[in-house]
Amino acid sequence: MSLKNIRFIAFILFLLADYGLRTGIDQYKDHTVSLLWEWLPLGLLACLVTILSWKIIREKSFATVYFKLSVASILGLLAAKAILIFQWYWIIAPEYRHIEGDMEVGISWTLLLTSFSALQIMLSFLATIIITKGVQKISA
């Protein structure tokens, strides 16, 4: 697999995971789970993408792989959030659009929590890629 394919897989995995959790599981939909449980799937997906890109990590430089995988994953997360915001304010509960300040508050909280999620994704990739590079150096 090439890095381009892995980036696409990372994008799709993060998009589908966040969208699926937010629409399919009531605790995620209502934000009643702890931040650990909200961020655990993101960390596990980062590990999965790192495992899928094991060969590429060995062949390419650290910065190239880290940056491209992080950006693709964060873009997938942002796409899921954009779909969920559109879905909520235009399809599920359009009456909230007419409440003054509701959309601004909702989008502000989404941006804040998404920035923490993006940081968590970057740290997960940092740790997993460093561990992968280290294992490859030890085994070489």
Report pLDDT digits (tens) over 73-122. 999 999 999 999 999 888 888 888 888 988 899 899 999 999 999 999 99
- Output the average pLDDT for the chain: 90
pTM attached to this predicted model = 0.89
CB atoms within 10 A of CB 121: 25
Residues 75 and 93: their CA atoms lie apart, in Å, by 25
Running DSSP on this structure, what letter comes out for residue 34?
-
Q: Check residue 140 and give its pLDDT.
A: 65
pLDDT of 128 strictly over 80: yes
